[in-house]
């Protein structure tokens, strides 16, 4: 691409914008979505959870500590030992056999 110079009019009228990488990835994902859904269904439970958690921020956006009022660490520090043990037991029960 040529360096900008004063008086340069830029692209000629009617010239299409080049696809950005984000647009190309988005188009790929749209084309391949059905195949991705089928592949997702074939994963083990722990793999599905991992993929789901990685994709979740793209759907809902990440929360900032300021928006949520506190960090996860703050919330965990507010729990007593019995509450933490209950959470761990629940996670272990839900993931039994993985």
Q: Model confidence over 57-78: pLDDT tens digits?
A: 777 776 665 555 677 777 878 8
Q: Domain of 92?
A: 64-98
How is the chain split among helix, strand and coil, in percent rounded to 5? 60, 0, 40
Distance of CA 26 to the CA centre of its chain: 13
Alpha-carbon gap, residue 41 to 47, rounded angstroms: 10
Q: Helix or strand or coil: residue 4?
A: coil
Residues 69 and 54 in one domain: no
Residues (pLDDT < 70) of the chain are 1-4, 9-11, 16-17, 62-69, 97-98
Number of domains in the chain: 2
24 shares a domain with 37? yes
Give 40's contacts (C-beta < 8 A, 6+ positions apart).
Answer: 48, 51
């Amino acid at each position: 691409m040529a360096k900008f110079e004063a008086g340069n009019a830029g692209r000629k009228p009617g010239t299409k914008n080049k696809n950005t990488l984000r647009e190309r990835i988005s188009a790929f994902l749209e084309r391949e979505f059905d195949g991705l859904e089928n592949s997702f269904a074939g994963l083990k439970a722990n793999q599905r959870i991992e993929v789901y958690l990685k994709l979740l921020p793209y759907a809902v956006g990440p929360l900032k500590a300021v928006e949520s009022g506190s960090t996860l660490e703050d919330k965990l520090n507010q729990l007593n030992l019995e509450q933490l043990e209950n959470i761990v037991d629940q996670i272990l029960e839900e993931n039994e056999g993985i």
